[in-house]
Chain A
Amino acid sequence: MLTPPFVLHRPTSVEEACAIAAELAEADRPFDWVAGGTDLLPNYKWHLNPKGDVISLAHVDGADALEANRVGCMVRLHDVATSDVVHPLLAEAAAKVASSLIRRSATIGGNLCLDTRCFWYNQSEDWRRSIEWCHKADCGTGADCRVIPNQNTLCVATYQGDMAAAFMALGAEVELVGPSGERRMPLEDFFELDGMKKNVLQPGEFLLAVHLSDDASSRVGAYHKLRVRETWDFPEAGIAAAWIPGDAASLRVASTGLESIPGLHADLVEAHADWTDTEGRKRLSKALQKAIKPVNNTALPPRYRRSMVSVLASRALRAITQGE
């Protein structure tokens, strides 16, 4: 299997990165950002939408700085998992990502911007040719979606990053930088529906850091992940929950690995203010299960993954209320 050739740009500062991006945009040369490369490079090997230029963030000064309330995009998952500075929920979630080998390379930024996955899409070129391509990588054919045919408007590939749910539960904000300047938004607003679009990043823009507010440190959280093997596997479902103990309204519950984007379920939490007792937890968990609709494009069947939402949620909620 050959990686298609590409030009690798290695800026050393945010400004330089933006300048290169602007330059490439001007020259009409499509490009990708790369951080740890554990997601992008396998996809390139499989010829999944490869670009001729790749801008690496690995050498951007300060991008790998790890602080309690600011996590740079180049911080390795391994460093988060073993850090005593970051919130324990982040360490817990990071430790559950892929394998120890991958966590050494994989980054926070890369995990949040993870490409969505689908078993009709994450396949070799020959394989995809034999199904006459799919909507997400149609190779100019205008091919239909293979998961839900005849809709042809939406890509339903599944977002299977672990960190997003944990960050959302802690109320994180992301810092985006691009040619048109810097902006910040809550993480839940960063993701934008459609498995191809994935997030709100504009051309030339990249995720520089994740910020946590001061109250995040007072939160108690838990992340529960469904997978067949305790290593390697992407989440088939993941639920993160965190609250400020004693303040039922402070609960934040986020899900990942189930739909095209991770989701924060603020309205459901609001509707179940009595979630702190056993019955309440059960009701909230069931409501979450009802609200989430996975499709058939990962290893386990969607009906099962959906049923597991309530199990994972009630376990996460139980975990964070223990000692109450």
Chain B
Amino acid sequence: MSGGYRQQPGGAGGEVRKDGKRVAGKLRFTPPGAGGSRPVSTPRNLDGIPESVGGNEPQPAGHHVHDRLRTGTTVGQATALVDANAKVTGQAWYGDDVRLPNEVIGRILRSPHHYARIRSIDTSAAEAMPGVLAIATGDDAPKTFGVLPVTKDEHAMAVEKVRHVGDLVACVAAVDEATAMEALGAIVVDYEELEPEFDPRKGLEDVDEPIHWRGKYHVGRTNVQKRVHQAFGDRSKIEHAAATSRRAWRFEGVHHGFTEPHAVVAHWDANGRLQLYTPQQVPHYTHRALATVLDVPMHQINVVRTFVGGGFGGKSDPFPHEMCAAILARKCGRPVRITFDREEVYWINRGRHPSYIEVKLDADEDGRVAGLDVDALIDGGAFASFGHVTSYYNGVLATAPYELGSFHYTGARVWTNKPASGAMRGHGAVNTRCAVEVGLDDIAEQLSVDPIDLRLANLLPPHSRTISGFRITSNGMREALRRVKEESGWDEKFRKMPLGKGIGIGCGFFISGSGLPIHWDPNRFPHATVHIQVDMDGGVTVHTGAADIGQGSTTAVAQVVSEVLALPLDMIHVRSHESDTSPVDLGSYSSRVTFMNCNAAIRAAMEIREQLLNAAWDMLGYHPTTLVMVDRRIVYKHDPSIGVSYLQALHKAQEDKGALIARGAYRSPPMGGVHKGAAAGLAPAYSFSAYVAEVDVDVETGLVKCTRVWAAHDCGKALNPLAVEGQIIGSCHMGLGQVLSERMVYGRTGHLQNANLLQYQIPSVHEMPHVTPIIVESSDPEGPFGAKEAGEGPLLPILPAVCNAVYDAVGVRPSSLPLTPDVVWSDIQKRMKAEDVEDPLELTSPRLTHGPLQEKLASRAEEHQSRDRARQRTEDTSPYVNGVLFGFDPTRPIDEQLEGWAAIDDPDPESMAEMGYAGRAWLKQEQRHMGGDV
């Protein structure tokens, strides 16, 4: 537009007034913004509207409560992420891209010792250096914090003790990095070294100086941070097992390996409020922790989440360096920026726990899983982080997708003098899942049956309960298994390929949003809240605290709002960066965002929709139930020529009250049992996945190359299939890293030997197999438009699928990860020795001749398939609990029907100790039972 005054339209007829002036048009201006990016609205796309409401979208898994809100706008369509442009053109602002006027550089002094008491810190020489603006030590912030309220054991900087090499001791703000580094060198710290501990197995023993002290709850004088025990079911079922697989695993710790190192900028603004810029997955926890540590009310802090260059769980704790930046900025009165080196990223860690996991599986003569015993000893490093939850997840997330005769879990997390472990994609479930799935493969081998058929004959159906009381709603496990079996050509390949070539199966089960918000009672405050605001221009501003960490949560929220309001995606603006404007949200972890925030967003959008439809009712005289929203129009259902434009309806709705504002919240339904730890692993929905992997193993060198993966994941409903496929492929890459090459190497001296991206071996594009993503849609009744998570669950199956494929290729079953060539090679050597073979090329690969059980399992799987289909489509709504397969009546409580089928509350320490390393943690008593430290 050439600018200036614009004539009202309709005056183009060339009429000229008698005085020679032009005649102004008489038509109304088109409403502002009516076009979005497209000038005319498009007709309804019936392909994007479900069958149940008259569209063409097939619904094999049944209809959904949100179907009536579908407008065929974006949901289910491959959509480029709304922030993709900013990222691919380099305009996205990550943590270190924040530049504030007058800012200075902060650097952190780190402990050179594994474990030491700090006798004194002398900062005087450093303070006297020109260019040094502020120095802070542990004394400046004595209050503890931690991501979980029950285990606050971290300080901004070490108070009294340092607990691992790289632990924070002091920090310096200076005019530039070189000065700051020099100042760090001038700080004199007097340490008294203490005896460090690196081996989690030794953490079970009493020591003089435990790494933390839990008072009356401390277990003996050990380094056990948390011990967990759960037992369900009928243990007598395992006494006559037809097949048993017991395997002690060792899983190395792995790191998220995100691209962007941690970076933070802290700035106390003119009004004395803290503005903290940080790439956080969970800005709200940082917000809380900052308030505690800095002794400032939360409303005086604004946490600004920058773009996050990858998180995967590694940016979900409140971090000490965030506190350091704020403390330094307060001291020196200037903005302070701290950016980590890669090595510092490894020192703050929070990666997957190094674990010793023992899994025992028993199958009865009918090929049912009579017993699953898990013992998990996990190495927490120096701090608690998410470890309390991880301790549970390592067991309880193995209780599905199979129906179990009994389940026994002992878990323990111990502190060691290493960087803290924490939450990482697939939190707590990955390692145990690998062990369980490899165990099932072993069971199938012993029973001479096909491992996929074994699984298909033991699945829990949709709308059922697991042995520990998790409520399963939608369940696409069966379809996932069938699809990968079919598409991979399983029957032609399994146990039929030549030496060195193998194929394997693995399944996964994961939570779609943790059922309990960590900081509050779910009945008193919602999990997620979304605000929507629509003003005259028609653009829709959505405020949410959901942290987009690259997974596409902003896009998902925008999509559901766009779908409900039938507006093009570019009219939806999601604002999620600042805690000042976004409603309180738990952020991006436990795969909760799509499920919870999109549900909240749908609710808010429904409120806006109602206001618009009511306005249209006023204008058209047709009741809202007879109106439909199409692209930027509201029309009469039976005659689309009768209608108003979106803007007309909006302006009508605004007449009395200005901008339309709505909010929606999501709260999970009441769930779960009452036993200790019943809340761990509860989720409003669960995702399921099944992968088949094909590998080439070089039998002479032990090198494993994964060549093909068929990856089926049940995400309920793919809101954005493009993003779901991206998550599946990305999960394969990440999981392949853990199974093939990634590990945090702690050497002889306890130092992390490979704190850099050269020696920490993340697979390259050369190691990446061809992945065929298969999306399974089971339409979750409570998910937004049926959706469940797709971010973490897809990682789980790749590990066991590769392990099982390696067995198929060379006949050796791994029991430690990663499968670096030396590990596989030494397994092959062992097999050669056992079979007295000289040349590895003369080994034979395993073969399968179906035993008598095979047919039985196949027919059971057939039966279950029709059972599951009826339950999935809610044609059969009878209750189903784990145990029905073993002959129980689901309408009566199981423990009434059989003594012994119940949770065991009082564990016997001696028998627990037989379970494995973690069980031995029960040989010690808590201080309160020893009369100490009450």
Contacts and interface: CB of A to CB of B under 8 A. Distances in A.
Contacts of B110: 126
Nearest to A124: B343
Nearest to B763: A229
B758 A300 contact: no
Interface in B818-873: 820-822, 825-826
A229 B822 contact: no
B741 A119 contact: no
B343 A304 contact: no
B747 A119 contact: yes
Contact of B821 (A99, A126, A304): A304
A299 interface: yes
Interface residues of B, number: 37
B112 A129 contact: yes
B678 interface: no
Nearest to A299: B759
A63 B572 CA distance: 59
B822 A230 contact: no
Given A2-B177, A304-B826, A231 B821 contact: no
B821 A228 contact: yes
Given A229-B766, A232-B764, A130 B822 contact: no
| B758, B820, B822: residue with the most chain A Cβ atoms closer than 10 Å | B822
A231 B749 CA distance: 29
A119 B753 contact: yes
Given A119-B747, A299-B759, A311-B701, A126 B343 contact: yes
A231 B165 CA distance: 31
A7 interface: no
A228 B765 CA distance: 13
Given A299-B759, A304-B822, A127 B741 contact: no
B112 A229 contact: no
A46 to B, nearest CB: 9
A301 interface: yes
A135 to B, nearest CB: 15
A307 B749 contact: no
A162 to B, nearest CB: 16
Given A119-B747, A127-B755, A230 B766 contact: yes
Contacts of B288: none
A233 interface: yes
B214 interface: no
B820 A307 contact: no
A301 B765 CA distance: 25
Contacts of B113: 130
B708 interface: no
Main secondary structure of the interface of B (DSSP, over half): loop
A1 B181 CA distance: 10
B821 A130 contact: no
Interface string B161-172: 000011000000
A300 B701 CA distance: 12
A1 B701 CA distance: 37
A229 B764 contact: yes
A130 B825 contact: no
Given A1-B341, A127-B343, A304-B821, A226 B701 contact: yes
Contacts of B701: 226, 308, 311
Given A2-B177, A119-B754, A126-B112, A229 B767 contact: yes
Nearest to A98: B758
B761 A127 contact: no
A311 B343 contact: no
B247 interface: no
Contacts of B749: 131, 146
Contacts of B642: none
B758 to A, nearest CB: 6
Interface string B216-258: 0000000000000000000000000000000000000000000
Interface residues of A, number: 28
B825 to A, nearest CB: 6
A126 B164 CA distance: 13
B825 A304 contact: yes
B192 interface: no
Interface in B678-722: 700-703
A311 to B, nearest CB: 5
| B178, B751, B766: residue with the most chain A Cβ atoms closer than 10 Å | B751
B766 to A, nearest CB: 4
Given A229-B764, A304-B825, A130 B112 contact: yes
B764 A311 contact: no
A282 B741 CA distance: 30
Interface in A114-165: 119, 122-124, 126-127, 129-131, 146
A229 B820 contact: no
B64 to A, nearest CB: 44
Contacts of A2: 177-178, 181
Contacts of A308: 701
Contacts of A124: 341, 343, 755
A304 B741 CA distance: 15
Contacts of A127: 165, 343, 751, 755
A226 B181 CA distance: 39
Contacts of A226: 701, 821
A228 B751 contact: no
A130 B177 CA distance: 21
A300 B165 contact: no
Interface string A1-39: 110000000000000000000000000000000000000
Contacts of A228: 703, 740-741, 761, 820-821
A301 B745 CA distance: 12
Contact of B822 (A122, A126, A233, A300): A300
A129 to B, nearest CB: 5
A99 B181 CA distance: 32
Contacts of B820: 228, 299-300
A33 B700 CA distance: 41
Contacts of B181: 2
Contacts of B826: 304
A232 B822 contact: no
Nearest to B113: A130
Contacts of A232: 758, 764
B761 A233 contact: yes
Nearest to B700: A311
A124 B113 CA distance: 15
Nearest to B165: A130
A231 B762 CA distance: 11
Interface in B89-148: 110-113
A110 B715 CA distance: 51
Nearest to A300: B822
Nearest to A1: B341
Nearest to A42: B758
A299 B112 contact: no
Contacts of B166: 126
B759 A231 contact: no
Contacts of A131: 749, 751
A99 to B, nearest CB: 8
A229 B759 CA distance: 11
Interface in B890-914: none
Contacts of B745: 119
B761 A229 contact: yes
B764 A230 contact: yes
A300 B751 contact: no
Given A126-B343, A129-B112, A300-B822, 10 more contacts: A119-B747, A122-B759, A123-B755, A130-B751, A229-B741, A229-B764, A233-B761, A304-B825, A307-B825, A308-B701
The 10 nearest A-B residue pairs measured at CB:
A304-B822, A230-B766, A130-B112, A231-B764, A311-B700, A1-B341, A119-B753, A130-B165, A228-B741, A229-B764
29 contacts: A99-B764, A119-B753, A119-B754, A119-B759, A123-B755, A124-B341, A124-B343, A126-B110, A126-B112, A126-B166, A127-B165, A127-B343, A129-B112, A130-B111, A130-B165, A226-B701, A229-B763, A229-B766, A231-B766, A232-B758, A232-B764, A233-B758, A233-B761, A299-B759, A299-B761, A299-B820, A300-B822, A303-B822, A307-B825
